[in-house]
A and B are shown apart, each in its own frame.
Chain A
Amino acid sequence: MEETKEHKIVSFKTYIIILFLLISHTALSVFVTQIDLGNLSVIVALSIAALKSLLVFSFFMHLLYDKRMYAFMVAGVLMVMTLVLIITFLDYGF
């Protein structure tokens, strides 16, 4: 049986643009953390990392083009991780 459903072919141009964004955000995060912002630099560095991984998930891993189910499942896993992080910190900080 042949697969009849067409798979989306993502253009090289899209990948190059995303790569450019990823590299420029890496440079930005290096630059920002060289300035002394105290605890703010942790938040900035991790926000940039989160944005970069969002780009990788959406474009490189095709979550944007594949069935919605995959995106929902990834979101679910990330929610579980966040929940465990919060529950762990209930024992330590807050």
Chain B
Amino acid sequence: MTENNTHDHYDHEGSKLGMWLFIFTELLFFGGLFIVYAVMRYKNGTAFGLAAEELDVSIGAINTVILLVSSATIAMSISSIQLKKTKLTLILLATTLILAIVFLVNKYFEWGAKIEHGLYPGSESLEQLGHGEVLFFGLYYFMTGLHALHIIIGIIFIAVMMVKVKNGKLNVNRFVQLENAGLYWHLVDVIWIFLFPLFYLIA
């Protein structure tokens, strides 16, 4: 690379390290919430068990599989950009993007059904159920909502990566941004891997 590149600083390892440091803050952020969940569950075991039965295991399981597949496709897109297969990279990223949107659509219907049944923070029917149930659904909405926010950010992140792959800004020589998008997406996946058993399975 020559003089036209003087302002173009590129440090693959440094970028990745920065992304990992951000991921650590995210892990500690959600980690704190998981600790809150653990303490609340310890204090209100029976109520949490009963409240968890309200959640639909099959929707949770389907969404888990959707996120796992999307994690695999974005991981494969990084291999394919290294193999100079631009078209395949774009197809894999588009698949990831579509799966992310399907996840959110499922979440919309899931939340919608709960809200229709009067199970939302501050609702009258929830207040009647008791302290433990209020805590469970409070945490459920907050943690899955925060996770959904991460999915939305991920969708934007992946869409930007697709544009950059398409116009050649990301290529076989410099693809660390795509790698970082992958790391972020896998983080979202890991968080869901724990949210799923804690809210849906342990009843």
Residues of A within 8 A of B (CB): 1-3, 7, 9-12, 15-16, 18-19, 22-23, 26-27, 29-30, 33, 41-42, 45-46, 48-49, 52-53, 56-57, 59-62, 66-67, 70, 73-74, 77-78, 80-81, 84-85, 88-89, 92-93
Contact = CB atoms under 8 A, between A and B. Distances in A.
A85 to B, nearest CB: 5
A53 B193 contact: yes
A56 B189 contact: yes
Contacts of B43: 92
A3 B76 contact: no
B38 A85 contact: yes
Contacts, number: 116
Contacts of A52: 193
B94 interface: no
B61 interface: yes
Contacts of A62: 179
B24 A57 contact: no
A77 B68 contact: no
Interface string B112-151: 0000000000000000000000000000000000000000
B39 A29 contact: no
Interface in B34-92: 34-35, 38-39, 42-43, 57, 61, 64-65, 68-69, 71-72, 75-76, 78-79, 82-83
Nearest to A33: B201
Given A11-B79, A53-B193, A56-B186, 16 more contacts: A26-B61, A26-B64, A29-B197, A45-B201, A45-B202, A49-B196, A53-B190, A56-B193, A73-B20, A74-B24, A77-B27, A77-B28, A81-B31, A81-B34, A84-B32, A92-B43
Nearest to B38: A85
24 contacts: A1-B1, A1-B10, A7-B12, A9-B83, A10-B79, A12-B76, A19-B69, A19-B72, A22-B68, A26-B61, A27-B61, A33-B202, A41-B201, A42-B202, A45-B202, A49-B193, A49-B196, A61-B182, A70-B20, A77-B24, A77-B27, A81-B27, A88-B38, A89-B39
A68 B190 CA distance: 20
A65 to B, nearest CB: 11
B197 A15 contact: no
A88 B75 contact: no
Nearest to B64: A26
Contacts of A73: 20, 24
A61 B183 contact: yes
